[in-house]
A and B are shown apart, each in its own frame.
Chain A
């Protein structure tokens, strides 16, 4: 079964990413807790990829409209998350002088 092969591969990717995620962040100074959270929050908007695929199909299925709603929501998450994080980090930078 070809599908199963893909799934095993995906699970492999998932496992390795999980370990990578744990290792990536070790000691975070507390002033970065909020930007780290809101910045990674923006990354979790990656579900936009799934939303685009669902929304962009040709047939006028109900799922297409669900996809449209998902695109709007995920986009708010992505754009809002990145912009707000950048604003915050901009303030931190200013006082370095």
Chain B
């Protein structure tokens, strides 16, 4: 046995750690341990790699590892929980770019390789490039550095299709001639396709696209594994790639949309085209009046949405929840699977505010009980409580499972202004007889309610 076999054995152990790590991440009791296990696997894979005979220059290596570790560590420790979606998107993009560079580096090292390796380099660069710029655009949208609305222009789909076809053609040229120009063109166009692909996707569809790009970054790693003929890259990359697809499917189901519709729908740009007009008017209510209703309520459900994250209202929401409980009410939080901008977004925010785990209810668990609820507090959520999804077949969101806030005796909707939600739809809930709007910044509104309780 030479060093290569020992390294492979270490890779097998690392793979096992990754497999258990991912499996344990899927269960609440074991998740943290699972994350730790998979990080040990990563360390093992890295250390084993250093034993390859080809690895000679440690100076540059150590410098790179140190720089990356410091940057990653600082970002991860400093980020506020409200900034989590964009940070995850950014990390994901870096992984994709790293895979692209690994593929490109292989091209620079070995100009003469066989067809299959050329194909692998091509795939790595294509997937890695799309992952990088796609994630970066998602990052910009999530961080509010760019409008969260879909960016659409005439002929967009045609242009994207042409870019894709040219990429396929260039792939053929590259694999056939192994020419540098075709490789550079592939790099440039892959990066362009990532930008163009994510531009038309609106903020509310971000949970799906983030899950998908996460899966893509794994596949880029697996493709890089074929480039350098390395098994641990293939196993780990592929595990991430396919388990990421499962998460993508969960997200799509929660919106009752197909993945193709999310990618190409440009959802939410045009406004509710086919939707029928909503009758009635929105009725406002003062904080004082809302307080009297809340004070008398026995059963209160909070329904948070992206607006709560924007207003950073999770801490005051928790404070209000504690007061309501002291006042004798039963308090719960109803969480829609796609509320917010990434899978599980609301759970992270409420966990940060120390909301007890038992108070968080999933959509299917809370819906049968909504008709016994005295007050439903909708905080910056919109489409996920829109009854049009249940009863208006002409609505673009028809069929999407919602939290049935309208069944509660009274609904208070905290909203910044009278505008419509990300989908551009009027929310039929806000026009219902039992719904009262409280306009203004969610954090200020809730602070005002807390002040009422105190006095």
- The distance in angstroms between the C-alpha atoms of A67 and B63, with both chains bound, is 12
Contact, CB under 8 Å: B91 / A67:
no
- The distance in angstroms between the C-alpha atoms of A67 and B246, with both chains bound, is 31
B residues near A37, Cβ cutoff 8 Å:
88, 210-211, 214, 244, 247, 342-344
Dominant secondary structure at the A interface: helix
Closest 8 CB pairs of A and B: A75-B68, A21-B242, A33-B344, A63-B108, A71-B64, A80-B72, A33-B343, A79-B72
Which positions 8-27 of chain A face chain B at CB distance < 8 Å?
10, 13-14, 17-22, 24-27
- The distance in angstroms between the C-alpha atoms of A27 and B58, with both chains bound, is 43
Contact, CB under 8 Å: B64 / A96:
no
At the interface, yes or no: B23 with Cβ under 8 Å from chain A?
yes
Contact with A along B63-84 (1 / 0, CB 8 A): 1110111011101110101001
At the interface, yes or no: B347 with Cβ under 8 Å from chain A?
yes
A residues near B342, Cβ cutoff 8 Å:
33-34, 37
In the complex formed, the residue of B with least CB distance to A3 is: B114
Contact, CB under 8 Å: B94 / A40:
no
Which positions 25-48 of chain B face chain A at CB distance < 8 Å?
25-28, 31-32, 34-36, 38-39, 41-42, 45-46
Instruction: With both chains docked as a complex, state the minimum distance between the C-beta of A29 and any C-beta of chain B, in angstroms.
Output: 6
Instruction: With both chains docked as a complex, state the minimum distance between the C-beta of B166 and any C-beta of chain A, in angstroms.
Output: 24
Contact with A along B93-121 (1 / 0, CB 8 A): 01101110110111111000010100000
- Contacts A55-B60, A62-B108; is A84 near B242 (CB within 8 Å)? no
In the complex formed, the residue of A with least CB distance to B347 is: A31
Instruction: With both chains docked as a complex, state the minimum distance between the C-beta of A78 and any C-beta of chain B, in angstroms.
Output: 6
A residues near B225, Cβ cutoff 8 Å:
10, 14, 50
Instruction: With both chains docked as a complex, state the minimum distance between the C-beta of B30 and any C-beta of chain A, in angstroms.
Output: 10
In the complex formed, the residue of A with least CB distance to B36 is: A86
Instruction: With both chains docked as a complex, state the minimum distance between the C-beta of A26 and any C-beta of chain B, in angstroms.
Output: 7
Known: A63-B108, A70-B102. 15 other contacts (CB 8 A): A25-B246, A30-B362, A31-B357, A33-B344, A33-B347, A47-B98, A50-B102, A57-B56, A57-B109, A58-B57, A66-B105, A72-B67, A75-B65, A77-B98, A92-B32
B residues contacting the other copy or chain, number (CB 8 A): 113
- The distance in angstroms between the C-alpha atoms of A90 and B237, with both chains bound, is 26
Interface core residue of B64, B214, B342, B360 (most chain A CB under 10 Å): B64
Size category, A interface: 35 or more
- The distance in angstroms between the C-alpha atoms of A85 and B217, with both chains bound, is 17
B binding-site residues for A, Cβ under 8 Å: 18-19, 21-23, 25-28, 31-32, 34-36, 38-39, 41-42, 45-46, 49-50, 52, 54-58, 60-61, 63-65, 67-69, 71-73, 75-77, 79, 81, 84, 87-88, 91-92, 94-95, 97-99, 101-102, 104-109, 114, 116, 210-211, 214, 217-218, 220-222, 224-247, 250, 335, 337, 342-345, 347-348, 351-352, 354-357, 360, 362
Dominant secondary structure at the B interface: helix
> Can you list 19 pairs linking A and B with CB atoms under 8 Å apart?
A14-B222, A32-B31, A34-B84, A34-B343, A37-B210, A41-B92, A41-B217, A47-B102, A49-B232, A53-B228, A56-B52, A63-B109, A79-B73, A80-B73, A80-B91, A84-B79, A86-B32, A92-B351, A96-B357
Contact, CB under 8 Å: B347 / A43:
no
B residues near A56, Cβ cutoff 8 Å:
50, 52, 54-58, 60-61
- The distance in angstroms between the C-alpha atoms of A48 and B87, with both chains bound, is 19
Contact, CB under 8 Å: B356 / A95:
yes
- The distance in angstroms between the C-alpha atoms of A48 and B44, with both chains bound, is 12
Instruction: With both chains docked as a complex, state the minimum distance between the C-beta of A62 and any C-beta of chain B, in angstroms.
Output: 5
- The distance in angstroms between the C-alpha atoms of A93 and B335, with both chains bound, is 19
B residues near A43, Cβ cutoff 8 Å:
18, 21-22, 38, 41-42, 218, 236, 239-240
Contact, CB under 8 Å: B52 / A53:
yes
Contact, CB under 8 Å: A80 / B76:
yes
- Contacts A44-B236, A50-B230, A61-B109; is A20 near B84 (CB within 8 Å)? no
